[in-house]
Amino acid sequence: MKIKVLNAKCQGHARCAATAPDIFRLDDDGYILPGDIEVKPGDEEKASLGARSCPECALEIEE
């Protein structure tokens, strides 16, 4: 599973990291770091929940 990160859409809500801090890494201001996220086996559910919590729809789940 892969999460596509649309950095231009991130507005620093930090909901993804509140759900799964180990999967979604933020910069010092609370915005997501650039780069798509390769989800480790076993982390899929948390990653999916984190992605779905983004109010901007800035995280797209790719199977």
Partner 1 sequence: MRPVPAHVPPEMVGDFSLFTSPGMDRTANGDPQAAAAVALNGPRVFYSQMNTRDGRGTWVVTRADDQRRVLQDPETFSSHRSIFASALGESWPMIPLEIDPPRHALYRSLLNPLLSPKRVIAMEEAVRERAGVLIDKILANGTSCEVMDDFAFPFAVNIFLRFLGLSDDRLEEFVSWANDLLHGDDEQRPRAARTIVEFIRSLAEERRRKPVDDFMTFVVQAEIEGRPLDEQEVMGIGVLLFVAGLDTVAAAIGFDLRYLAEHPDDQELLRREPDRIVLAKEEMLRAFSTVQMIRVATRDVDFEGAPIKKGDYVSCASMIANRDPDEFEDPEKLDLGRIGNRHTAFATGPHRCIGSHLARREIEVALEEWLARVPTFRIKEGTAPITYGGHVFGIEGLVLHWS
Contact between 18 and partner 1 per CB under 8 A: yes
**Cβ closest to partner 1, residue 38 vs residue 45:** 45
Judged by CB under 8 A, the residue of 2, 4, 12, 62 near partner 1 is 12
* CA-atom Rg of the chain in angstroms: 10
What element of type H or E holds 48? helix 44-52
Contact between 11 and partner 1 per CB under 8 A: yes
Cβ contact 39:5 at 8 Å: no
Q: How far is CA 20 from the centre of its chain?
A: 8
- What is the binding site for partner 1 (CB under 8 A)? 9, 11-15, 17-18, 26, 28-30, 49, 52-57
